Chains A and B, each alone.
Chain A
Amino acid sequence: MSQAFRLPFRIWASLTIRDRLGLLALVMIPGVLGGAFVTAIGIAVLGPSVLDFLAANLPLVRFFVAATAILLLTVPTAFVLIYLELKVIARMNLRVGPNRVGPLGAAMSVIHGLKVLSKEDFSPSGVDVTVFTLAPVVTFLASVMTLLVIPFAPGIYGQDFNIGLLYFFAMGGLTVLGLLMAGWSSFNKYSLLGGLRSAAQIVSYEIPLTLSVVGVIILTNTMSLNGIVAAQSGSIFDWFVFKQPLAALIFFIAATAEANRTPFDMTEADSEIVAGFATEYSGMRFGFFFFAEYVNVFIVSALCATLFFGGWTAPFNWPWPATLNGFDPYSLGVLGWTAIVLVLIVGGTEVLAPLIRLAGGRSWDMSSTIWMAFAVTIVIGLGALGALGFVAFGWLRGLVWFMAKTYFFVITFVWMRATLPRIRVDQLMGFAWKWLLPASLLNLFVTATAVIILNR
């Protein structure tokens, strides 16, 4: 029996690579064809009812789509942030930073990620394996799920809870659970210290973080982030950073501590507790923590931009109407846009090639001239399309503004990391309880009083 069971594997092992690929193709082509046939039949038969079902509960569909998109976009975001940090800190250190892999070393963070992914995956002796395995997942998911309520642009958000802010803080609070699990489960005193530090730190900074936002909630009468952004639409002076400066400051400080960033990176203090809660983690388990940290940075920056800096709203009233003097970009449809793009590319190449030939003189042969013209056309065309879309589509405009504000805060975090030393644990706690909490209470009191007086 076992021999018969092993036989296919032996055959497979005896084949060469080309034979294996051929065999795979032989198996897959009929499979694909049959699958396509069955799908066609299924669509023909069940199509209408499925469409009705989807149309019936659209929010559910939207939710699933958004969740999938967020899960897919999280890791690339982390990669971008890691590369940003590598380069910016390197420049601040008068170094060059990664510049060998990819243009300007842009692929370095991806390479790091893949390498971490391919390291040996094991749990050391003495650890509580279940908790040890679950901890990175909890941390990562807790930070990813908070992305669900952030409005990236008008109409582009995962879910618009009316308690979105509450949901955000609840999910953010779950992060400490993962860190605590990691610190406890890995049989290591450094990890234990790191986990407990993170617990104390995050728990005590949750309070000023939440209290500093209450002022905004009072002003807007809503906890939905879309509502808060909508309340700030208009000119730059409608942003809450001007109405609630103290709250903005408190929120930024507390958010830094919430994301475990310097100068509050007690939990992975290199020079004190070796790597904190992640000391015993290797391979992809460590990678999860690694990504979660940077996703946290992104989320915190995004929330800063959303709450106090107007989210996706432009800092000034956009002069042009969303539709260009009656021309509706949607009216052309896909075919129209494709035709336009083709004509632009071909025509641009035709126009540019002689110019480049003239400019380059004899140094350019024909093929390189045409390729050059093509590339230049593509660049110009993409820029033009981007500008058109920026003018025409409100969501693209909002996305651009939102990302600009978010990455401003991301770079601020990186800057702080390169500059500031780390503060001690007791100073951390004292700062939270002696300064931030009274300040946030004062801010709340002043705001409430002002609202009552002005409404009367």
Chain B
Amino acid sequence: MAVGDRGTAGAGRPAGGSASRQATGPGATGRAASGNAPARKRASALTARGPANLTAPVVVPNTLWQAENPLAYDGGQPADITHLHEFGLTDAGRVDAARWGALQVIPANADYILDLIRANSLWPLLSGLACCAIEMMSAATSKNDMDRWGMFPFRASPRQADVLIVAGTLTTKMAGPLVRLWEQMPEPKWCVALGDCTVSGGRYKRSYSAVQGIDRVMPVDVYIPGCPPRPEGLIYGMLQLGQLVKDRRGHWSEREIGPTVPDGI
């Protein structure tokens, strides 16, 4: 169970991540380093300092692989979903109002209580993409009952959900709608990658239409590997997420986007 925690050296954070983040520039809009000219990217990265690095994606620049037929498969193209980076580069997301909601009046040392409250009522979004959705439902049904921890009811509308459980393969056609869903959820919100396909592409590493890990398009808090993981795995991951919420981590304006899994996997 890998817990992506915004680069502060933590559980499951691959060591390659931070090094490659140094290697990748501010990448003006946080774009992936192109495989065609990795050297230039490195140079610009070394000159760049400051908070931009926090929001730069972690992408291992391609120095090994060249497309056999660039006409057919054009690697090295950047993500066109970069608005999250641009938002992260601004300070707009760092305002604590989102964290406070209507309780702006309470002094800041009541924060821990709020986090306890949130950790105990995590409403998932009822959105299943593929196979793992069945196991997600199974985790909510009678045999292993997620409701015991308050991870119920599954909200149908993203406006009322706290956790986005991405259950199943994310394809390039679905990436846009899913990011839109993620943006429609109000702060504070968390994202759980359920299953190998969402963690790293899984068995669709070689596919021409699958996203190689959803952390290329949205920040992820908890990774739950498995194809598909058992319902107990999902429940364990949600409990890990609760711990992560208690530790006052996981606010996406402070998280960078980009694969936190080394690309070699």
> Could you list which residues of chain A lie within 8 angstroms of chain B, going by C-beta atoms?
17, 20, 86, 90, 93-101, 105, 108, 111-112, 114-122, 124, 270, 274-275, 278-284, 286
Say whether B102 contacts A111, CB under 8 Å. Answer: no
Say whether B118 contacts A115, CB under 8 Å. Answer: yes
CA distance A280 to B114 in the complex (A): 24
| Interface residue from A20, A101, A120 paired with B186 (Cβ < 8 Å) | A120
CA distance A109 to B7 in the complex (A): 35
Q: Provided the pairs A111-B117, A121-B101 are in contact, do residues A282 and B145 lie with their beta carbons within 8 angstroms? A: no
Minimum C-beta distance from A114 to chain B (A)? 5
Q: Mark B94-129, 1 if CB is under 8 A from A, else 0.
A: 000110111100010100001001101100000000
A sample of 13 inter-chain contacts (CB < 8 A) reads: A20-B107, A93-B141, A95-B142, A97-B145, A105-B148, A105-B150, A118-B101, A120-B98, A121-B102, A124-B159, A274-B157, A278-B160, A280-B159
Q: Provided the pairs A111-B121, A282-B159 are in contact, do residues A97 and B147 lie with their beta carbons within 8 angstroms? A: yes
Say whether B186 contacts A283, CB under 8 Å. Answer: yes
Say whether B98 contacts A275, CB under 8 Å. Answer: no
Q: Provided the pairs A86-B147, A279-B159 are in contact, do residues A100 and B103 lie with their beta carbons within 8 angstroms? A: no
Minimum C-beta distance from A105 to chain B (A)? 8
Is B162 an interface position by the 8 A CB rule?
A: yes
Q: Which residues of A contact B184 (CB under 8 A)?
A: 124
Minimum C-beta distance from B172 to chain A (A)? 25
CA distance A80 to B147 in the complex (A): 17
Q: Which residues of B contact A115 (CB under 8 A)?
A: 117-118, 120-121, 162
| Interface residue from B98, B121, B157, B162 paired with A108 (Cβ < 8 Å) | B121
Q: Which residues of A contact B157 (CB under 8 A)?
A: 274-275, 278-280
CA distance A93 to B109 in the complex (A): 40
Say whether A112 contacts B121, CB under 8 Å. Answer: yes
Say whether A100 contacts B142, CB under 8 Å. Answer: no
Q: Which residues of B contact A98 (CB under 8 A)?
A: 147-150, 152
**Interface bin, chain B:** 20 to 34
CA distance A101 to B152 in the complex (A): 13
Q: Which residues of A contact B118 (CB under 8 A)?
A: 115, 118
| Interface residue from B97, B107, B141, B160 paired with A286 (Cβ < 8 Å) | B160
Is B187 an interface position by the 8 A CB rule?
A: yes
Say whether B117 contacts A119, CB under 8 Å. Answer: no
Say whether A118 contacts B114, CB under 8 Å. Answer: yes
Q: Which residues of B contact A93 (CB under 8 A)?
A: 141-142
Minimum C-beta distance from B10 to chain A (A)? 25
Shortest Cβ-Cβ A-B pairs, 4 listed = A120-B186, A282-B159, A275-B157, A120-B187
**Chain A minimum-CB-distance residue to B140:** A95
CA distance A94 to B162 in the complex (A): 26
Q: Which residues of B contact A114 (CB under 8 A)?
A: 117
**Chain A minimum-CB-distance residue to B106:** A118
Contacts A275-B157, A278-B160 known; list 11 others, CB within 8 Å: A95-B145, A95-B147, A98-B147, A98-B150, A115-B118, A115-B162, A116-B160, A118-B101, A118-B103, A122-B186, A283-B186
Q: Which residues of A contact B160 (CB under 8 A)?
A: 116, 275, 278, 281-282, 286
Say whether A100 contacts B148, CB under 8 Å. Answer: yes
**Chain A minimum-CB-distance residue to B157:** A275
Say whether B101 contacts A283, CB under 8 Å. Answer: yes
In chain B, positions 204-241 with a C-beta closer than 8 Å to chain A are none
Is B27 an interface position by the 8 A CB rule?
A: no
Say whether A282 contacts B156, CB under 8 Å. Answer: no
Q: Which residues of B contact A283 (CB under 8 A)?
A: 101-102, 186
CA distance A98 to B145 in the complex (A): 9
Minimum C-beta distance from B117 to chain A (A)? 5
CA distance A20 to B107 in the complex (A): 10
Is B188 an interface position by the 8 A CB rule?
A: yes
Say whether B148 contacts A119, CB under 8 Å. Answer: no
Q: Which residues of B contact A105 (CB under 8 A)?
A: 148, 150
Q: Which residues of B contact A120 (CB under 8 A)?
A: 97-98, 101, 186-188
Q: Which residues of A contact B148 (CB under 8 A)?
A: 96-100, 105
Say whether B159 contacts A111, CB under 8 Å. Answer: no
Say whether A101 contacts B114, CB under 8 Å. Answer: no
| Interface residue from A17, A101, A281 paired with B150 (Cβ < 8 Å) | A101
Minimum C-beta distance from A250 to chain B (A)? 31
Q: Which residues of A contact B152 (CB under 8 A)?
A: 98
Q: Which residues of A contact B162 (CB under 8 A)?
A: 115, 119
CA distance A98 to B140 in the complex (A): 12
Minimum C-beta distance from B151 to chain A (A)? 10
| Interface residue from B100, B107, B120, B156 paired with A118 (Cβ < 8 Å) | B100
CA distance A282 to B141 in the complex (A): 26
CA distance A17 to B112 in the complex (A): 15
Minimum C-beta distance from A204 to chain B (A)? 26
Q: Which residues of A contact B101 (CB under 8 A)?
A: 117-121, 283-284
Say whether A275 contacts B150, CB under 8 Å. Answer: no
Q: Which residues of B contact A118 (CB under 8 A)?
A: 100-103, 114, 117-118
